[in-house]
Amino acid sequence: MGSKAKGIRENQVYSNRVLRSEFDRHWSTRISRTGYVIYTAIADWAKVTTLLSNGQTKIITFKKGGKVFVGGGGTSHYSKPHFVKTL
């Protein structure tokens, strides 16, 4: 997969604008003691499709072991590195 197909490489980031996220079948899920839902990629190229409050939709792709921490109020933290493509 070429770099254009993967999207833009980003390091660790967070967003408080997430309205909805859909995870493909390549994720495991657990809940932390602090209340975050932690998604861990169990395969390379695990994908999350995210709808932001400004109407943008993004596809975020991770390698195996990548993590997404989801908290309350639309806050999500994304581990590094990952690739983002805006639809």
Q: Beta-strand (E) ranges in the chain?
A: 8-10, 13-15, 18-23, 27-31, 37-41, 46-52, 57-62, 67-70, 76-78, 82-86
Query: Percent of the chain having pLDDT more than 90?
Result: 75
Quote the percentage of the chain above a pLDDT of 70: 94
Arithmetic mean of pLDDT, 68-77: 90
Total number of domains constituting the chain:
1
In a domain, 2, yes or no: no
Please state the pTM of the whole predicted model.
Answer: 0.85
On whether residue 1 sits in a domain, the answer given is: no
In a domain, 68, yes or no: yes
Q: Is residue 3 part of a domain?
A: no
Domain range for 74: 8-86
